[in-house]
Chain A
Amino acid sequence: MRALDKKLIRDIKRLWAQALAIAAVLSVGVMIMVMAFGTQLSLSETRDTFYERARFADVWSSASRAPKSLVEEIAAIPGVARVEARISQFAVMDLPDMNDPAMAQILSIPESGEPQMNALILKDGRMPGFGQRDEVLVNEAFALAHDFAPGDRFAVTLNGQKRDVQIVGVALSPEFIYTIGPGSIMPDDERFGILWMSEDVLAAAFNLSGAFNSVTLSVTRGTDLAPVKDELEKLLEPYGGTGPYDREQQVSNAFLDGELEQLDVMARIVPPIFLIVSAFLVNMVLGRMIQLEREQIGLLKALGYSTFEIAAHYMKLSLGIGAIGVVIGWLLGLAASQAMASVYVEYFHFPYLIFAQRPSVYVIGAAAGLFAAFAGALLAVRRVAGLSPAVAMSPPAPTRFRRGLLDRLIRVLKPEQPTMMILRAIGRWPLRAALTCLGIATSASIIVAGLFMFDSFDELLDVAFVQANRQDAILEFAIERPEAVLDAVEDLPGVLKAEGALSVAARLTHGHRSRTIGIEAARPENDLVRVYDGDNRVEVRPENGIVLAKRLANHLEAEVGDVIEVEFLQEGDEVYLVTLTGTVAQFFGLSAYMELDTVAAMLGKTPTLQLANVIIDTAYEDALFDAVKASPAISGITYMSEVRRGFDETIAESAGITLTIYTLMAALIAIGVVYNSARIQLSERARELASLRILGFTKGEVSYILLGELFILTLVAIPVGLVMGYGMAAGMVESFKSDLYALPLIVTETTYWRAAGVVAGATIVSALIVRRRIDRMDLVAVMKTRE
């Protein structure tokens, strides 16, 4: 081994604590790259393969009842490759292991026995036989939640007829990778399942012989979907079509997209922060090292080493630190990927093992990590070139202090000499002080950006469950009912109060922007489901026109006072002009609200209801459940307390882990920056501090001079970091926005205090470590060293 390389290894050993502090920061960047990038890659590749193999459809639409003869016309739309007409219905299930009713989405299996599109992957058992009245196939997640296996039986109410069915198989479907019930915000595999049954059985049960109410299309590669959807809509309009949608709005796919988007944001935003901080640290430490070793550098030059060789030596040192960080990052990334994989396995249902480790991700992570170390070193190593050997070997001139702005401050404050030294040091190296400050601030900002989500969730839960949705349960009717049905609902056991609502598919157009959406129509006096905007209730009266979710209004580029064109998809071509009278901050879905009578008038019929929101007397819960399971009129029930519980559970599960991870990441940065700064200061000022000790200053006073600067910088950095964190949170809220959900931007005082506390704590810990070095300083030895 070359002598210079031996020096390298011994240097790393000598600087191990500092090297490790830098490597740790760097490793977080590499870890997140490996984890987020790798997970995103495997998730998207697995999804694409699954979609390809299972022939995932491109366009979906539902209708109330369309004749099968329409299929040929649909197939004739240019670009359409395959068409599949099917039956899709919601139903209530009565499960042997549960008191409360569960909800099912039932899909038909064609006579051929295999759907052409959205192929089912059998995990167990077999497909239901054609015409077998009691055979069902269930989705795997539902089967797992209930420990169901082929042969098990339960009851399901099909169009009012309660039927005992037997599970013959368990399957996965590309349409239900993420399974979420209508109106839910979290998957609940216990209470929502997908059932597949023979088409003729469903046709008989739902009076749809020779007809269909759901259609899926696949198109030839490169086909523009917009004209296909337009054509399909025209064809289905006479039959109660609710508007075609493509993969982007397909719920399971949209959730997957959202997840991929989050991973993408994570992979693109978080690692650079850590890599930049570690580059800064490498620069700081190496810069100091080069300054300390200027005599050795001068000597090497005198010995005939070229500037390049010497620079390469120091570059190797930083790359060595980088390599340590990369290896730690790899290991952490591997662990994190596995943790992510176990989370995904719970929520996303893929047929094959998806989280294969990809070497390319590790290579990219390593390249990024080493590049950060390299870039940081390059800035420091430039100084090597500037050192002339003769100058390098003579002691450096004392740092020149000048009078400046800070001196005015000093004159006003009239501090003691030690404080003066601190202020002068900050004033002498303002850039270094600023960068140190920025590094510490980054640490604080990461905590704010990581933890604000819980504040947002709190707000979101408050709005969603306390202010807006106050019902205990939602009962869905198998078919639309007149308003008088509410009396019958109130007669159900345990129902204290019932209010109705109707959801109508409509296309909203404003200028050149348009959107197909369900308009929620209800009575303004309803109190169980209220339209809320932050703290203010928004009334939707007949004269109020239409109220839109803010994100929907933004999408339409519409402002309050604008006129929106409303076209109901199930009725004729008539376009109604409705004034936008308000917008509401809505966190789940995209909604539009109108008054029931107004909508009914536009539809040219008496008001009808699709669902009832109810308040329940929990004492009669079981009786109500039995009634719901037995009732032919009710096709579904969403139990709000379960939804809330599921949400709370999920958050509680992740809160502890998230808190720990972000705190660790932030502490790593804070310690990395503060510890390295303190060490460098100590090495730069050892003589000065030793002289003070010899003059009679105590260890405490000397420590104050050294560490006081860092405390001041930390004090300045914390508020800066909190503001930066708020900005990052705002950016995250913006980038996570989708049609499915949006987070409110809320950062509570607790989060700010927590961030400040972690950073202050990390500073103190680093300071204490360095303080030990000051205490053990050998005064004589320090004074003897030549600088």
Chain B
Amino acid sequence: MADMVFHTKGITKVYTTGEVEVHALRGVDAELFAGEFTVLLGASGSGKSTLLNILGGLDSATAGQAWFRDDELTAMRERDLTRFRREHVGFVFQFYNLVPSLTARENVALVTEISQNPMRPEEALERVGLNHRLDHFPAEMSGGEQQRVAIARAIAKRPEVLLCDEPTGALDSNTGVQVLDALEKINEDLGTSTIVITHNAGIRAMAHRVIHFADGNIAEVVTNDSRIAPSEIEW
């Protein structure tokens, strides 16, 4: 397969809340490849979000190592992680996380203003089919539209990897398909490595590879020989 963007060795994450210790990850070894559309599948609490957060430089591991290409994420300081996120990673979250006081265009501009070689906000929004909603505030848009703004915001910096945590989790099937279409199109057109977390098993059919999580570890990795279009997904 092509070159590796992420790989981890024995990643462990333990959360301590009060007197309770929660083992979110128990020594995960994972590999993720450039240009690939990967789906992380698993029940809630299986550790997939935690892994995504560590790969994205949002969270730190309790033990083990993670690399982005040749750089060890787990050894980076806060400042380097900020730069890593700024330069290489695009995020899409379940609840869109748009800034409510900024319009669609401005939410995207939030990212383009601090990137090296971004696309214009209008172009990013066009890629997700929102060129007619440029000046709308989040409150004036549907959930699917908001999520597509979030995707536009994530891809506007031309990131190497796009990390999506339950991007369709809050959406109905129609708008969910629109969002997945947008993600697939970005993956095809720009060759952005895309990792999507979902607990909607239907989505796995559109991935190159599917990684199954259970109890804080990888249970199974499946490579799809043939992929289907988002519109064919059974919701």
A residues with CB within 8 A of B: 2-4, 6-7, 10-11, 14, 295-296, 298-307, 309, 388-391, 393, 397, 786
Q: Is B82 an interface residue (CB 8 A)?
A: yes
CB distance from B208 to the nearest CB of A (A): 25
Are A3 and B53 in contact, CB atoms less than 8 angstroms apart?
no
Query: Can you name 20 A-B pairs with beta carbons within 8 Å?
Result: A3-B102, A3-B113, A4-B113, A7-B102, A7-B106, A10-B102, A14-B101, A295-B95, A299-B99, A300-B110, A302-B89, A302-B91, A303-B111, A304-B85, A304-B87, A304-B89, A304-B115, A304-B157, A389-B58, A390-B59
B101, B106, B114: the one contacting A304 at CB < 8 Å is B114
B79, A306: Cβ atoms closer than 8 Å: yes
Within 8 Å CB of B17, what residues of A?
397
- Judge if B93 is at the interface, Cβ distance under 8 Å: yes
The residues of B that contact A296 with a CB separation of less than 8 Å are: 97, 99
**B interface, size bucket:** 20 to 34
B120 in contact (CB, < 8 A): no
* CB closest chain-B residue, reference A14: B101
List, in ascending order, chain B residues with CB within 8 A of A7's CB.
99, 101-102, 106
B218 at the A/B interface (Cβ < 8 Å)?
no
Contacting residue for B85 out of A3, A10, A302, A393, CB 8 A:
A302
B residues near A389, Cβ cutoff 8 Å: 53, 58-59
Closest B residue to A295 by beta carbon equals: B97
B58-A3 in contact (CB<8A): no
Within 8 A of A (CB), among B47-89: 53, 56, 58-60, 78-79, 82-87, 89
Q: Are A3 and B110 in contact (CB under 8 A)?
A: yes
Contacts of B101 in A (CB 8 A): 6-7, 10-11, 14
Contact yes or no, B83 A390, CB < 8 A: no
Chain A residues with Cβ below 8 Å from B56 are 302
B18 nearest CB neighbor, chain A only: A400
B113–A2 contact, CB under 8 A? yes
Besides A3-B99, A299-B93, 14 other A-B contacts (C-beta < 8 A): A2-B113, A3-B106, A3-B109, A6-B106, A296-B97, A299-B91, A301-B82, A302-B58, A304-B87, A305-B82, A307-B78, A388-B59, A389-B58, A390-B53
Does residue B107 face the partner (Cβ distance < 8 Å to A)? yes
Give every chain B residue within 8 A of A14 (Cβ-Cβ).
101
Please give the residue numbers on chain B whose beta carbons come within 8 Å of chain A beta carbons, in ascending order: 17, 53, 56, 58-60, 78-79, 82-87, 89, 91, 93, 95, 97, 99, 101-102, 106-107, 109-111, 113-115, 153, 157
Query: In angstroms, how far is the closest chain B Cβ from the Cβ of A784?
Result: 12
Bound Cα distance from A301 to B157, whole angstroms: 15
Q: Which of A11, A295, A302, A304 has the most CB of B within 10 A?
A: A304
CB-CB under 8 A from A309, the residues of chain B are: 114
* Distance, CA A3 to CA B109, complexed state (A): 6
**In whole angstroms, how far apart are the Cα atoms of A589 and B79 in the complex?**
68
Residue pair A390, B99 in contact (C-beta under 8 Å): no
A299 contacts which chain B residues (CB < 8 A)? 91, 93, 97, 99
Which A residues are CB-close (under 8 A) to B93? 299, 393
Interface centre among A4, A295, A786 (most CB of B within 10 A): A4
Q: Which residues of chain A are within 8 angstroms of B85 by Cβ–Cβ distance?
A: 301-304
Q: How far is the CB of B48 from chain A (nearest CB, A)?
A: 13
| Alpha-carbon separation in the docked complex, A296 to B95 (Å) | 11
Alpha-carbon separation in the docked complex, A210 to B107 (Å): 94
Which residues does chain A contribute within 8 Å of B110, judged by CB atoms?
3-4, 300, 303
What are the residues of chain A within 8 A of B58 when measuring CB–CB?
298, 301-302, 388-390
Q: Roughly how many angstroms separate A560 CA and B95 CA in the complex, as a whole number?
A: 81
Interchain CA distance A378-B114 in the complex, whole Å: 24
Q: How far is the CA of A3 from the CA of B137 in the complex (A)?
A: 13
Minimum CB–CB distance from B115 to chain A (whole Å) comes to 8
What's the nearest-Cβ distance from chain B to residue A164, in Å?
Answer: 82
Task: List, in ascending order, chain A residues with CB within 8 A of B86's CB.
Answer: 303-305
- By a CB distance below 8 angstroms, the chain B residues around A6 are 101-102, 106
Q: In chain A, what residue has the closest Cβ to B50?
A: A390
Contact A304 B82 (CB under 8 A): yes
User: Across the interface, which residues of B come within 8 angstroms of A390, CB to CB?
Assistant: 53, 58-59
* Most chain B C-beta atoms within 10 Å of own C-beta, residue among A298, A299, A307: A299
CA gap between A44 and B109 in the complex, in Å? 55
Distance to closest chain B CB from A455 (angstroms): 51
Complex CA–CA separation, A389 to B83 (angstroms): 14
The complex places the Cα of A6 from the Cα of B104 at a distance, in Å, of 13
Expressed in whole angstroms, the minimum distance between the Cβ of A782 and any Cβ of chain B is 15
